[in-house]
Amino acid sequence: MASMARARPTLLLPHDPQGSRLAVVFPGQGSQYAGMADPWLTHEAGRFVLEECSSAVGLDLVEICRDGDALARTDLVQPAQFACDVAAFRVLESEAVQPVVVAGHSLGEYAALVAAGVLDLQSTARAVAERGAATHEAAISHPGAMTALVGVSPEDAADLCRTAGRGDVLAVANENSTSQTVLSGTVAAIERAEALARTRNVKAVRLKVEGAFHSPLIQPALDRVRRAIAGLEFREPRFAVIPNASGRPTTSPHEIRDLLGRQLMSPVRWSRTMESLADFAVDTVIEAGPSDVLTRLARRSIPGARAVAVGSPEDARSVMARQATAP
């Protein structure tokens, strides 16, 4: 581990004209696919992360990543996804990535905090495993679903949510962009929302998740998740992080801890996160992990910025080689 350690870069704020303008973002649950860990096994830094996380949680995360049925279970996919996200970042670090700011979507926020040096790898892996187990149990005891509304403003999505709720739990879970909002709630309420969306010529896409995350239905998991967070040591970040619950950058460990404690029940304010990245004048957004969902959102949300997904060591080398030669 010592051989891979790097000196912490000076925190670069958005007004620093000499600073790097690169952001790294981390996908969350729902981005997984069978075999997603395999590319990182070919690189020493990625393999190290997968082994450390597997040891920390007492699971063979590589084998879980190869099993599509296992990846459908929240308690198994969350530590597996977390490990792959961090593995991607460690490989990028080996290629000399120097972000000015990081952010992660829902579960991805934990990987972002490890990347920023706020949290250490093994204790965070254990906290993520506890989060996965708690939310898995809550999803079973309080069944629900999630659906993405595409091509609708946040205001219209919120109005559709209020109209379709009819006394059932139905909430805005993810504010992904100015044209995409995810709703979370009971199955009946989600079905009404999807039917209402069709009458308004709004596309609704049911998400392949186990429960109604970021809604009151996940409340039974809250105490366990907060206890897991309370057991973590929060340190000064190497660079700014953007918590989901605020969508605004911070370098305060106290604020980061507080907002992470709110995250489970709060909407993921990703659209606001993209605004914050634009305020940093980032010219490149790298998505570290097994997805390009955040890459596509960044391309639509940050005019002029280059957005790329890194799902393998080859991607990391290619991206950083191009970054080194960029004007």
User: How confident is the model over 130-160, as pLDDT tens digits?
Assistant: 999 999 999 999 999 999 999 999 999 999 9
252 is catalytic: no
Distance from C-alpha of 160 to C-alpha of 196, rounded to nearest angstrom: 7
User: How confident is the model over 109-118, as pLDDT tens digits?
Assistant: 999 999 999 9
Q: Which two tokens stand for residue 174?
A: 């993810």
Q: What is the pTM of this model?
A: 0.92
214 is catalytic: yes
Distance from C-alpha of 173 to C-alpha of 107, rounded to nearest angstrom: 13
Spell out, as residue ranges, where the chain has pLDDT lower than 70: 1-20, 326-327
| 289-298 burial: b if 16+ Cβ within 10 Å, else e | bbbbbbbebb
Catalytic residue among 106, 215, 246, 291: 106
Catalytic residue among 214, 215, 271, 301: 214
